[in-house]
Structure 1
Amino acid sequence: MTQIPTAFTIAGTDPSGGAGIQADLKTFQELKSYGMSVITSVVAQNTTGVQRVHHLPVEMIEQQLDSVISDIPVHAFKTGMIANKDMMKVIAKRVSDLDAFYVMDPVMVATSGDSLIDQDSRHFLRENLLPLTTLVTPNIPEAEFITGDKIETTDDMKQAAEKIVEDFGADAALVKGGHMSGKAVDFLYDGMTISTFTADRIDTKNTHGTGCSYSAAITAYLSQGIPLQKAVQKAKHFVTAAIKHSFELGSGSGPTNHWATREEAVKQ
């Protein structure tokens, strides 16, 4: 490693700043990793939903990837919204030989409920990108799609994490329990053991960009050489604080607070 940890995000944009590339870069900065990005799609969205999506030409995505990879060492990277199979093919080709941790946030549906990738792309992601990952971080609907199984209990979540690793080739899977009731419980399976990460559930509608920020935090910590289980634990704390101190901005699902842990540290 160089002295400066670097983290790299490949995703779509959010001009309102709560999710996507913007949330990833804010998270990297807060956690002291040098952030870089490749934009896949320009998304007109805000706290109420997605208004329009413009996908960049595949050649431009490929050039962005080459520009970064050929010049600056990459210690860890993540993918978020990758809207179609052609994009995924180029990304798979460029990152397959990259000596870096790969965190996949399998973004399929926005917090608002808007679908972000087509069905054909979902299948390609499952069959071709998943085997390249260090960690995949699905919520329950995403884990249901990947595994083909209904998830209704915490045991179902654990079994889904195991299946994603053992049947689909991810190195590790973190199945997130945000769609469950009660405590906010996530399960990590690393091919050997199941680890549980629990936080109080926060009663707020302001959860815009939580998945992006959580996976970006894990990516940042991995870029610093922190082991996977500890990286997830620290990222869980980061995103829980961000939700707890989220912002009343916009008329929909407001954004989380990326500097919340900084404020909490000052108060202690």
Structure 2
Amino acid sequence: MATPDPSPNRKPFPILHVVWLLLLAAAFGAGWALWSGRVRIPEAWNPWAPLRIDATPNLLTRFKLDRAAGDRAACQVALAQADMRLTPVDDRVTGEHCGFTNAVRIQRTSVAVGSDFTLSCRTALSLAMWERHVLQQAAQEHLGTRVARIEHLGSYACRNLYGEQGRRRSQHATADALDIAGFVLDDGRRVRVLKDWRSALAGTTPTSAAPASSVATDEATKDAPDLDEARFLRAVHEGACDYFDVVLGPDYNRAHADHFHFDRGAYRACR
């Protein structure tokens, strides 16, 4: 006669629970080993290693960029690697919800920029990453040369979002945005967003959030002998989405028919 189970209501400990506990312990141990430096991994794949502007981008690049951008000192250290001529700017309040902190005045990036402009450190860092890993590669691939100058429309401005009647400020109001109208190449060619974007490449039409002048519309739709400039502009626009939070262009609305808007902010959009 079989001996009855003294605890008939007790269930065996599920093996799955044991597996999960072991996995959690292993993950905790691995994380502690990496954090403490007991285990060495390549800097490129170490999430706690500082951002390097010249490092080949990988799955951790955006994490490192955002981590550096969120810390005043870390951002300054990372930006010091950039091929930029700049001057730190004192923190400043210029109006209601306007002003900037941890900003720099940029006289030149890796290319000429025309007039100086002010950007927050985090936005300047994104600009440096975009120039290093997107801009020049796109120029070489699609145009066979390099970019010599960026033609911008400005950065800091104490204003609301376009068409915003309330108090919602633009990222320009905190020096977290830059508008780019075009590029001048090493061989002297000039590529402009207004003339060379060609919405027809993507089969899209800008929305009518802002009026477009007849002159601008006529110039933007002129025929040209090739589409290399359009492909270049699309490459630098799409590539910017890896380093900025909001990237807007002519396909977004008519207010952006003649420029790209790049910013660091609270939400993400690539249009």
Same structural fold, with TM-score higher than 0.5 when normalized by the shorter chain: no
Higher relative contact order by CA 8 Å / sep ≥ 6: 1 or 2? 1
Please state which band the TM-score falls in when normalised by the shorter chain: under 0.3
Greater Cα radius of gyration, structure 1 or 2: 2
| Structure in which a larger fraction of residues adopt helix | 1
